[in-house]
Amino acid sequence: MTQPVIQALGESALILNTGSSATLEHQQRLWAIAAQAAQWPHVRDIVPGMNNLTILFDPLAADPQQLEERLQEAWDTAAVSQKTGRKIDIPVVYGGDSGPDLEEVARHTGLAPAEIVKRHTATEYIVYFIGFQPGFPYLGGLDPKLATPRRSEPRVIVPAGSVGIGGSQTGIYPAASPGGWQLIGHSALQLFDPNENPPTLLQPGDRVRFVASEVIL
């Protein structure tokens, strides 16, 4: 097993980095460490990234040296989290006005739009982490054949609920924002509600399936 690198990020955070190639096994280990570290005193926030984990702590109360040792120890002893996250189905309307770039993805991949929908809905994706905006999932598991470069001109506004492909990633925009991903569909599911607990529909470790509720070709 490769040894992770633990680096300071200013006086109030540490990053544990597992290496340059992302693996699910590393990610599962990080989820297990995240759950432990959330209980440590003076730790304020734990942010899983892509095969890394950042912890934020109170710089006047915590001992960073001790936290670093605990992180290292947690990495050495944490079992790969066998517990799988919840299974969540995401209904999607593919194509038409809901997925204005489906044609573009078809052109780039050489696959028929119906085949793209078939492949996009065939996979069980894993939420590696949530970042960028509240509830935005970084999903692992996109069929490599569907990979399509981002648009050369990002849209000024991507509507909330848009399902897109950006390079070899796929995801859903919880809120309207600028964005450069190729939009292939739209889901009416609300991914973020600050009045709910937890406030986001998806969490790291959850397993996601896209279900075509309608395909407009």
Partner 1 sequence: MIKIIRAGRLNSVQDIGRSHFRHLGICQSGALDRTALSIANMLVGNPPEAAAIEFTLGPCELRFTSDCRIALGGADFGATLDERPLSRWWSVQARNGQTLRLNAALHGMRSYLAVAGGFNSALQLGSRSTDLQAGFGGHAGRTLTEGDSLSVGELNVPDAAVHAAPSFGVRAPSWYEADDSEPMPIRVIPGPEYDSFTVAAHRAFWNETWTLTPQSNRMGFRLSGPELKIKKGNDLLSHGVLPGVIQVPPAGQPIVLMADAQTTGGYPKIGVVIGADLARLAQLRFNRTLQFVECDAVQAREALRRDNLYLQQIEAAMHWLRPARK
Stretch that binds partner 1, among 90-98, 146-154, 169-177, 179-187 (CB under 8 A): 169-177
φ, ψ of residue 20 to 5 degrees: the values are -95, -20
Q: Which two tokens mark 89? A: 């189905």
Tokens 């859903």 belong to 172
With CA atoms as reference, report the closest residue to 122 among 211, 215, 217, 205: 211
φ, ψ of residue 174 to 5 degrees: the values are -70, -30
Count of alpha carbons within 13 angstroms of residue 161, beta-carbon side = 14
Using the rule CB under 8 A, is 2 a contact of partner 1?
A: no
Tokens 């709910």 belong to 196
Spatial separation of the C-alpha atoms in residues 45 and 56, rounded to whole Å: 5
Q: Site residues for partner 1, window 20-49 (CB under 8 A)?
A: 20, 22, 34, 44-49
Spatial separation of the C-alpha atoms in residues 146 and 115, rounded to whole Å: 10
Using the rule CB under 8 A, is 147 a contact of partner 1?
A: no
Using the rule CB under 8 A, is 134 a contact of partner 1?
A: yes
The residue among 64 and 96 lying less far from partner 1, judged by its C-beta, is: 64
Using the rule CB under 8 A, is 195 a contact of partner 1?
A: yes
Using the rule CB under 8 A, is 181 a contact of partner 1?
A: no
Q: Is the dihedral of CA 162, 166, 170, 175 positive or negative?
A: negative
Using the rule CB under 8 A, is 164 a contact of partner 1?
A: no
Closest approach, Cβ 192 to partner 1, in A, equals 7
The residue among 116 and 165 lying less far from partner 1, judged by its C-beta, is: 165
Closest approach, Cβ 33 to partner 1, in A, equals 12
With CA atoms as reference, report the closest residue to 88 among 3, 206, 213, 171: 206
Using CA atoms, how far residue 41 sits from 62, 67, 70, in Å, is 7, 10, 12
The DSSP bridge partners found for residue 98 are: none
125, 136, 173, 181: which one binds partner 1 (CB under 8 A): 136
Q: H helices of 90-165, where?
A: 102-109, 113-122
Closest approach, Cβ 17 to partner 1, in A, equals 7
Using the rule CB under 8 A, is 84 a contact of partner 1?
A: no
Stretch that binds partner 1, among 78-86, 99-107, 135-143, 181-189 (CB under 8 A): 135-143
The residue among 12 and 213 lying less far from partner 1, judged by its C-beta, is: 12
Contact set with partner 1 (CB under 8 A): 7-13, 15, 17, 20, 22, 34, 44-54, 56, 59-60, 64, 129-136, 138, 174-175, 177, 192, 194-195, 198-200, 203-204
